[in-house]
Each structure stands twice: as structure tokens, then as C-alpha cells.
Amino acid sequence: MAIPLQGKAVVSRPEAVKGGVVMDAVIAGDDDPSAAAELRALWGMAAPITALNCVVYLRAMVSVLCLGRLGPLDLAGGALAIGLTNITGHSVLFGLASGLEPVCSQAFGSRNYDLLTLSLQRAMLLLLLAAVPIAALWLNVGPILVALGQDPTISASAAAYAAFALPDLAASVVLQPLRVYLRSQGITKPMAACSAIAVALHVPLNVLLVFGLGLGVRGVAVAQAMTNTNMVLFLLAYIRWAGACDDTWRGWARPAAVASGLPGLASLAVPSCVSVCLEWWWYEVVTVLAGYLPNPAAAVGAAGVLIQTTSLMYTVPMALAACVSTRVGNELGAGKPRRARMAAMVALVVALVIGVIHVAWTVAFSRQWVRLFTTDPSVVGLASAAMPVIGLCELGNCPQTTGCGVLRGTARPAVGARINLLSFYLVGTPVAVYLAFGARAGFRGLWFGLLSAQAACVALVLLAVVCRTDWRLEALRAKKLAGIELSPAAMEESKGLVVANGEPAAAEEV
């Protein structure tokens, strides 16, 4: 079934334009925000997504535990491959899928279900095209690692994992856009439930494949791929059984219609991808730098513990960011800028509270937490000394991550990408290198570098969201992005509004 040509709803109420400001011509419906109602709506979405993120975290932990049972060689090779596949593959696909958020959420808010369906199919095609060179890279991991000076035996183990992880790449091509598509419609609890069932099956799958069939590292990769595939199958089964998307799904579009919109979607997806990858990759930079410190084995081990800790803490702000992106996009698409602003402000306050909680527990339980991962005295000493710094980083990371979600919801991911580039690589990296090696602060110096990056990042994100966002203008842009055409009079007024705000190109920036 082909999707019909996109219809356009023309708003023609020029009498609603007063004093150079576009009024109800583009701002329709009830726009009376309530902080309490918004908090309920936000957590109604964020709680299941947080649970989903924790479940995904547990899946990764199960894989690492199985690798540890195989022995030090397989653990080293598998851990190296997991890091490499995350950097070169999963972070890229996750980032590209994030570019779908403003289109889907604003299309759903404006009830443009044709665009909602078409955008999902375009995102799958975009991720499929991106997966082709990633797959080629994974198939050549072994020679690449050897050329980079890695141990040949460890490289062979990593290459085996990467080759058998290719089906996981194919599953992510469908899973990541599907999650955004469902989240934009507020369908979050079924996603958490389907993921929980898939991860519950992940444990016996690992036992069977890794130990029962003796596949070793390859079995860990296959189990990971099967779990992601199960997530896709369970979600599709739920959609079919519950009829969750019967009102919004418009069928499969013609290939030409799907391909024609790729450049527009890529203009949002690529900056989103860059923004995500710049932050994710910085932690790998820290791991590499830790290897040049005195006692590198302890430093790298401590870095691994801290990165696992930040990954766990990241589950809440990541959920907040995804949900506020949806909430802001939905309200802007529905022509309710005041509600969109309230959604952003409530989410930022909640993120700040979460950050304070992280500071408190990392200071109070630093040594006890690290001992859950290792009893090595040198690793425990380094990691526990840096834990309070990690907590302070979360005080900036939670609002910053949430603010980037707001920027995605307003279809401005390029702003987030520029902020992350400036903060992590032009501020954080030089500070980390200077403190760790120049000022001889050692291991803690690396994390003070992260703290400086997060401080710069949160300041710039809050400036962009709180001080530099014209919510009425964003509602106008949302109407354009969602394919709803304004009347000529309203368009003229919207141009005047853009110039008056000193951003003459903003209305065209989609």
C-alpha cells in the first residue's frame, strides 16, 4: 500500500495576526501549561524508558560476565570488540535515529500521520545505508587491530566477535527508528516490557551458546544479536496484537517517495549523530589516556569501573532527554509553544534534582560501590578517589543531556553538536591532558577534565534552551517541518517575527 501524497492543511485566519505577532493563526488549541500536569506526563513516559535503559545496561553486563568466565584472553578480546563495535556502529546508528525525534514527535503532534509513517521508513533506509560501511569495517577488524599494534591473539578474538555481531547491526537498523516512532506516540511501557522479556531470555541464550555449544566469544556476539532481534519481534508482535499504531500507520510507501526525503532527514540525523558520538567517544579517549599513566593496568581498570558507573547513571538523563524531546516536539507540532516551554523547564528541573542525587550517593558510597566491581587495592584506590568528581560531573551532565533532548525536539541538533565539540574536545580534552600529565594530578586529573567539559556544556546548553529559544518561532518552524502550510498573511508575519528576533535564517532551517 502506497502512502498518498502529503496533504497540507491551510490555516487562513489573517484576522488573528495582530501587531506584527502571529497569534492563533498558528497557535491553536488549549495552550495553558501546568507544571504538575507536565511532570506527570513526563514521568509517565520517562519511567518506562529509564527501566528500558536499565534493562539494556543489564544485557551488556551479562555479556561481560560471560566473557569473564571464558578467561582473560577472551575477556580482553571481547571487551575490545564490544568497545569497538559500540564506537563504530551502535553509537552511530543510535545517533542517526535520534534525528528522527523532531520529525516524528512534531508530525504526531500535528496529526500528520502520513509524514510520521514515511519518516520511519526513511530512517530505516538511512540506517541501512550507514550500516553497509560499518559492516565492512567490522569484517576487517582483525587486520586493522594488528596494524594498530594490538596483540594478534587478542585481535583474533575481537575479530571473531565483530564478525558474528553483524546480525546485531541489522537488528539495530530496525530497532532504533522503531523505538523513536513508538516513543513519539507515547507508547513507552510496551517497549520496556518487550525489552525486559528479551533480556530475560538473554541469560539462557548466553549459557546455551557460550558454554553449552562451546561458541565462546562468538556465542556472546550471537546472543547479543538474537536479543536485539527478539526486541524487534516482540515490539512488532505487540503492535500487531494490540493495534497500537492502527490510527497512525499509513502503510508502506513507494521506494521513490522514501528515497526522495533522505536529504531532509539526513540534515537532522547527521548533526544528532555527531552530537551523540562526540560525547560517547570522549570516554574512550579517557581510557586511552589512562593507559599512559603510571601503573597503566590499574588506571585502565579504574577507568573501566568509572565508565560502567557513568553508563548506569546515564540511564535516567538519557530517558529524560528522549521523553522531553518527544514532549516538546508533540506540543510544538500541535501549535502550543507555552506547553512546549513548560515541558522543557520541568525536565531541566527534574534533571538538576537527579544530578544532586548522583552527587550525594557517589560521595557517600564511593569505596563500597567500587568494591562491587573489584577488590584490587590499586584499582579501588584510584576509582574511589575519582568517584566524587564523577558525581559532580553528573550535576552538569543530567541538565546538559536533557537540554540536548530539548534541542532535538525543536529540530536544532546541530546546536547540540557544536556545543559538544567545543565542550569535550576544545575544553575537556586539553584540561584533562594538562592536569593528568602537565600538572601531574594523575588519574583524577582526567576526570577533572570531564568536569570542565560538563561545566562548559551545561552552561552553553542552558543558554541555548533557556535564553536563546523563541518558542513561538519554534512553533512556526514545527508547522513547516510537519508539512502544514500557513496562510500568506501568516507567513509574512512569521518572516517579520524571524527578523525581529535577529535570526533571519531560522525559519528556513529545517
Specify the pLDDT at position 23.
34
Confidence of residue 358 (pLDDT cuts 50, 70, 90): very high
Specify the pLDDT at position 177.
95
pLDDT at residue 455 greater than cutoff 90: yes
Confidence of residue 46 (pLDDT cuts 50, 70, 90): confident
User: In whole numbers, what is the pLDDT of the chain averaged over residues?
Assistant: 82
State the alpha helices, DSSP H only, in 463-504.
Answer: 471-481, 488-500
Q: How many CA atoms lie within 13 A of 261 on its CB side?
A: 28
Which has more confidence, 43 or 166? 166
Confidence of residue 22 (pLDDT cuts 50, 70, 90): very low
Reported as a single tens digit per residue, the pLDDT across 377-400 is: 888 888 899 999 999 998 888 999
Which has more confidence, 16 or 156? 156
Task: Give the number of other Cβ atoms within 10 Å of residue 170's Cβ.
Answer: 17
pLDDT at residue 230 greater than cutoff 80: yes
Spatial separation of the C-alpha atoms in residues 117 and 254, rounded to whole Å: 12
What single letter denotes the amino acid at residue 144? I
Mean pLDDT value across residues 15-34: 46
| Percent with pLDDT over 90 in the chain | 35
Specify the pLDDT at position 483.
64
Mean pLDDT value across residues 112-119: 91
pLDDT at residue 487 greater than cutoff 80: no
**Any idea which of 47-51, 266-270, 299-303 has the lowest mean pLDDT?**
299-303
pLDDT at residue 419 greater than cutoff 50: yes
Spatial separation of the C-alpha atoms in residues 146 and 66, rounded to whole Å: 25
Which has more confidence, 469 or 294? 469
Bridge partner list, 22? 17
Confidence of residue 509 (pLDDT cuts 50, 70, 90): very low
Spatial separation of the C-alpha atoms in residues 70 and 27, rounded to whole Å: 60
**Any idea which of 295-299, 476-480, 498-502 has the lowest mean pLDDT?**
498-502
Specify the pLDDT at position 490.
40
Specify the pLDDT at position 270.
92
Specify the pLDDT at position 301.
76
Specify the pLDDT at position 238.
93
Specify the pLDDT at position 488.
44
Specify the pLDDT at position 11.
38
Reported as a single tens digit per residue, the pLDDT across 322-343 is: 899 999 998 998 888 999 999 9
71 is written with which cell numbers? 578467561
Specify the pLDDT at position 309.
86
Spatial separation of the C-alpha atoms in residues 449 and 460, rounded to whole Å: 17
Specify the pLDDT at position 508.
34
**Any idea which of 8-17, 171-180, 339-348 has the lowest mean pLDDT?**
8-17
Q: Are 103 and 325 in contact (CB under 8 A)?
A: no
| Percent with pLDDT over 70 in the chain | 88
Query: Could you please report the per-residue DSSP string of 247-301?
Result: TT---PPPHHHHHHTHHHHHHHHHHHHHHHHHHHHHHHHHHHHHTTSSSHHHHHH
pLDDT at residue 16 greater than cutoff 60: no
Query: Could you please report the per-residue DSSP string of 300-354?
Result: HHHHHHHHHHHHHHTHHHHHHHHHHHHHHHHHHHTT-HHHHHHHHHHHHHHHHHH
Mean pLDDT value across residues 111-138: 93
Q: How many CA atoms lie within 13 A of 37 on its CB side?
A: 7
Reported as a single tens digit per residue, the pLDDT across 363-378 is: 999 889 888 777 788 8
Confidence of residue 138 (pLDDT cuts 50, 70, 90): very high
3-state percent helix, strand, coil for the chain, nearest multiple of 5: 80, 0, 20
Task: Report pTM.
Answer: 0.79
pLDDT at residue 90 greater than cutoff 60: yes
Specify the pLDDT at position 348.
93
Specify the pLDDT at position 19.
35
Reported as a single tens digit per residue, the pLDDT across 191-201 is: 889 989 998 99
Of the candidates 308, 369, 343, the one whose C-alpha atom is nearest the C-alpha of residue 86 is 308
Reported as a single tens digit per residue, the pLDDT across 234-274 is: 999 999 999 888 889 988 888 888 998 889 889 889 998 99
pLDDT at residue 441 greater than cutoff 60: yes
Reported as a single tens digit per residue, the pLDDT across 463-479 is: 999 888 999 998 888 88
Bridge partner list, 21? 18
Spatial separation of the C-alpha atoms in residues 368 and 31, rounded to whole Å: 48
> For cell 576509582, what's the residue?
383
